[in-house]
Structure 1
Amino acid sequence: MFQYAARSVIKEGFTVIELHDAATGSVAELVPDIGSNLYRFDSRGQRVIVSPDRLTSLKTSDSAVFRYGTPILFPPNRVKEGRFTYAGRDYELPLNEPPDYHLHGELCSRPWEVVELGANDQEGAFVSTRFQYSAHPDVLQYWPHEMEFTMTYRLVEGVLHVNASIRNAGEHEAPFAFGFHPYFAVPFDSGEDLVLTVPAVEEWPITNLSFVTGLPRATELVERVNEGLNISDYRPLGCTMLTLAEGDSVCRISMKSRNYTIAYRLCEQLPYMLLFRPDWAQAYSLEPYTYVTDAFNLPYEPDLTGVRGIGAGETIRLHTAMWVEQHSLFE
């Protein structure tokens, strides 16, 4: 019997990619037809990512495409009035959230193509999907750069590695802002202690829509989240924006009574994190971003907010990984 398997199946009329690791009882599922969304990940007997009740709801329910699984964000979060200026060029994005916001981009709702699928003992189970702006003339109307996105999901020894490669195939520098929105399965209704650990250095003052209202600083919350912050009573629809410590980071959500932890590793190319608790699911989001919300419209230095471009012919690579750590009963 082989440890790893990767296959394409049809569920509810959608093509779904399944990655299996028999040794750890791990399975990952993503739906290329809807934003290449990693909508399920279970590992070592635990649910890691919250899935929708039905895949069709991602297409038929208002905003559902943003509300489950692991949406891919470009740009992440909101842009006021959908407008900003970068490198002397004005951009006007479609308004997809009332009253006048552009939210999370369109990568998470449009179909991606599968370009590689396989499994072997050395590389585990893996799939690569691709999205090209050149195949979507309506997107090029407001984002006039031939962007190419390749996502590779690899399941090895119970760890799900997610690698993103973003290339500007156009002739001009483009604004760059990327992020993920994983909905981690967290049992808020259990009454147990839920402890979050994040290697943060500063907290940004933000509104309840996560718009920045001032400069970041070290706060009591930053100190507490480094040591382990109990999020059991974190307010539904509450959000917190953090700047992470330099270098790769590992964040953890520990379910103390259930003797396991969800771990999430981020590369240094994702130096900002939005904490968010939805009110529609038993979940908690650790959203890594390359910039803070609506950074192109902020009056601060680019080095502080993450404002940057991607040059003609340039490729930017990012990676994350998620897994389950099981605790000893005697810890």
Structure 2
Amino acid sequence: MSRYSAECRQQDGFSIVVLTDSANESVAELLPEVGNNLYRFTTGGREVIKTSVSMQTLKEENSAASKYGTPILFPPNRIRQGQFEFRGRSYNFPINEPPDYHLHGELIVRPWEVVDYGASDERGAWVTSRLRYADYPEILAYFPHELTFTITYRLAGGKLYMDSVIHNEGDVEAPFAYGLHPYFSLPYESDNNIRLQIPALEEWPITNLSFVTGRPAPTDLSNEIRQDGIALGSYPELGCTLLTLDPNADPVCRIALHDTGYTIAYGLDQQFPYVLLFRPNWDQAFSIEPYTYVTDAFNLPYEHELTGVRGLQAGEECRLTTALWIEESVK
């Protein structure tokens, strides 16, 4: 009997997908109906991602879909007045964070279509889901590009891989900005012994809403978080930090929980040059958010190579991968 399984089941009136690796006590649960949200992941008996509200709340409560689990962002973070220009075209996104901002895009609230799932000893357990902008005239009205998002979650060897493919099926270049917002479950009662290590190169000066106020530079924080890590016990609630990653470093971010004897490891490919750090005040969690650009980059006066501004050409695909696992401490 295979160690891997993948199944669709009904729970609390919703269809969910459950991936299992029994050899590593690993279970990933996804809610395609609400943003294809990975709302729970446990491995080795450890809770890595835990959602503390109901699936009904995720679907119906304003902004809840962006506050739990693993929201999928296009574009990530805020756009001032919902407006920017790219290649001579003006874009006006809806103001979904009144009175001034568009926040995180619509992938987090739209239903995704499950197109394939299964399990095998060779591949592990997987599920592939898809969302097409062509199916939403209301999105095309302000973002007239037929993008298709295809995401495969695959559980194998105790690691959870997330492969994202974004395909521009239209006939003109589309502005491109993609990110993820996983909320890692942390026992803050022992937070003096929780340390965060990021392969940072530079830190961006930002506001408390993550808007950039100047060029990035090496700082005491970027040096400390790269070398020895920082203690999350002193990281302020609703605090945020924007970092450029070192392209020559091992692209793995780590949260070490010394009191409980394990480390959450989050591997990123180089398609994500930036991470935003964020500690919510509504849950016992911490976010490491990989981005392809810095917040509101299309409105910044800096060179595109610095901020991550780019387009997706007609017919072009962008592929991005992350991996999530735990490392047990050596006794």
Q: Deviations over 1:131-162 (max 9, x none)?
A: 00111111000110000000000000110000
- 2:236 aligns with 235
Query: Given the two structures, how large is their TM-score scaled by the length of structure 1?
Result: 0.98
Give yes or no for contact 1:52–1:69 (8 Å, CA) kept in 2: no
* Unmatched 5+ stretches in structure 1: none
Q: What is the percentage of aligned positions where both structures have the same residue? A: 55
- Alignment correspondent of 1:65: 65
Q: Give the alignment partner of residue 265 of structure 2, picking from 263, 266, 276.
A: 263
Q: Is the 8 A contact 2:74 2:179 kept in 1?
A: yes
Specify the alignment match of 1:96 in structure 2.
96
In structure 1, what is the equivalent of residue 310 of structure 2? 308
Residue 219 of structure 1: aligned partner: 219
Tell me what 2:247 maps to. 246
* Cα distance per residue 1:285-331 (max 9 Å; x no partner): 000000000000000000000000000000000000000111122xx
Q: Which residue of 1 aligns with 2:181?
A: 181
1:195 matches 2:217: no
Cα displacement string for residues 98-128 of structure 1 (whole angstroms, at most 9, x for unaligned residues): 2210000000100000011000000000000
Describe the SS at the equivalent of 2:236. coil
3-state secondary structure, aligned to 1:325 = strand
Question: For residues 189 and 61 of structure 1, do their structure 2 counterparts lie closer, same or farther at Cα, with a shift above 3 Å needed?
Answer: farther
The partner residue of 2:289 within 287, 290, 304 is: 287
Runs (5+) with no aligned partner, structure 2:
none
Q: Would you identify which runs of 4 or more consecutive aligned residues in structure 1 move more than 3 Å?
A: none
Secondary structure of residue in 1 paired with 2:233: coil
Give secondary structure in 2 for the equivalent of 1:304: helix
Mean alpha-carbon deviation: is it higher for 61-70 or for 117-126? 61-70
The letter of the residue matching 1:274 is L
Provide the residue aligned with 1:298 in structure 2. Answer: 300
Quote the Cα distance in structure 2 between the aligned partners of 1:234 and 1:190: 13
Distance in 1 between the 2:269 and 2:221 partners? 23
Q: 1:182: how far off?
A: 0.2
Shift of 1:88: 0.3
Query: 1:189 touches 1:282 (CA, 8 Å); kept in 2?
Result: no
**Structure 1: distance between partners of 2:150 and 2:328:** 32
Report if aligned partners of 2:192, 2:232 keep a CA contact under 8 Å in 1. Answer: no
Q: Which residue identity does 1:231 align to in structure 2?
A: L
Is 1:121 matched with 2:114? no
Alignment partners' CA distance in 2, 1:201 and 1:231:
19
Q: How many Å apart are 1:50 and its aligned residue?
A: 2.4
Answer yes or no: is 1:209 the counterpart of 2:209.
Answer: yes
1:231 positional shift? 1.4
SS at match of 1:222: helix
Aligned to 1:53: 53
CA shift in 2, pair 1:252/1:56, >3 Å: same
The residue that corresponds to 2:42 in the other structure is: 42
Q: Distance in 1 between matches of 2:318 and 2:52?
A: 31
* CA–CA distance in structure 2, aligned partners of residues 211 and 71 of structure 1: 20
How far apart, CA to CA, are the structure 1 residues paired with 2:191 and 2:321?
33
The 10-residue stretch of structure 1 (189-198 or 152-161) with the greater mean CA deviation from structure 2: 189-198
Other-structure match for 2:329: 327
**What's the secondary structure of 1:226's corresponding residue?**
helix
Q: Is the 8 A contact 1:15 1:32 kept in 2?
A: yes
In structure 2, do the counterparts of structure 1 residues 105 and 309 end up closer, same or farther at CA, with 3 Å as the change threshold? Answer: same
Q: Distance in 1 between matches of 2:301 and 2:246?
A: 23
Measured in 2, the distance between the counterparts of 1:312 and 1:278 equals 38
Query: 2:190·2:259 contact (CA, 8 Å) conserved in 1?
Result: no
CA displacement, residues 10-54 of structure 1 (integer Å, 9 cap, x when unaligned): 112111000000000000011110010111100001000121321
Deviation at 1:191, TM superposition (A): 4.3
- Cα distance in 2 for partners of 1:161, 1:102 equals 29
Tell me how far apart the structure 1 counterparts of residues 145 and 9 of structure 2 sit (CA, whole Å). Answer: 33
Q: What are the equivalent positions in structure 2 for 1:144-163 lying under 5 Å apart?
A: 144-163=144-163
Q: Following the alignment from structure 2 to structure 1, what is the Cα–Cα distance between the partners of residues 319 and 94?
A: 27
In the alignment, the residues of structure 1 paired with residue 106 and residue 24 of structure 2 have an alpha-carbon distance, to the nearest angstrom, of: 34
Tell me the residue number matched to 1:81.
Answer: 81
8 Å CA contact 1:52–1:58 kept in 2: the answer is no
Residue 62 of structure 1 and its aligned partner are, at CA, apart by: 2.2
CA distance in 2, matches of 1:239, 1:192: 19
Contact 1:236 1:277 (8 Å CA) reproduced: yes
Is residue 145–residue 174 contact of structure 2 (8 Å, CA) maintained in 1? Answer: yes
Of residues 239-248 and 213-222 in structure 1, the stretch that sits farther from structure 2 once superposed is: 239-248
Deviation string 1:143-193 (CA, Å, 9 cap, x unpaired) is 100000000000001100000000000000000000000000111233441
